């Protein structure tokens, strides 16, 4: 199974999500081992270099005035804004 196929399956396959690091590594080809290590360590820059394509991390931004308080009601204006950013 290739690295890309594994990533596609991780989101939809509960059995794959329960595997530990050693079990996941056993599913990868040798050339994908470095890529898996970068992914597991959260090394976005290294992962981008290995895949030769930009990798984005989802960032959750909460307005400063809402960081310490719990909103009583949720509406579109009070929800945290979510965006994808390319780390350089």
Residue 67 predicted with pLDDT over 60: yes
* Bridge partners for 59 per DSSP: 83
Question: What tokens does 7 get?
Answer: 């990533």
Helix (H) or strand (E) holding 57: strand 56-61
- Domain containing 17 equals 3-86
Residue 62 predicted with pLDDT over 60: yes
**pLDDT at res. 41:** 76
More confident residue, 18 or 85: 18
**pLDDT at res. 1:** 60
**pLDDT at res. 81:** 55
Task: Say if residues 2 and 32 touch (Cβ distance below 8 Å).
Answer: yes
Between CA 78 and CA 66 the distance in angstroms is: 8
pLDDT in tens, 7-51: 666 666 666 667 777 777 777 665 567 777 777 777 777 777 777
Q: How many domains does one find in the chain?
A: 1
Q: Is the pTM of this model over 0.85?
A: no
- Residues 6+ away with beta carbon under 8 Å from 45: 87, 88
| Sign of torsion over alpha carbons 64, 68, 72, 73 | positive
């Amino acid at each position: 199974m290739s690295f890309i196929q594994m990533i596609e399956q991780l989101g939809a396959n509960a059995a794959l999500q329960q595997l530990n690091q050693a079990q996941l590594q056993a599913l990868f080809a040798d050339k994908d081992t470095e890529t898996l290590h970068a992914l597991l360590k959260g090394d976005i820059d290294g992962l981008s270099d290995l895949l030769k394509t930009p990798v984005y991390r989802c960032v959750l931004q909460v307005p400063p005035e809402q960081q310490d308080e719990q909103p009583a009601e949720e509406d579109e204006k009070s929800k945290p804004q979510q965006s994808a950013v390319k780390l350089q």
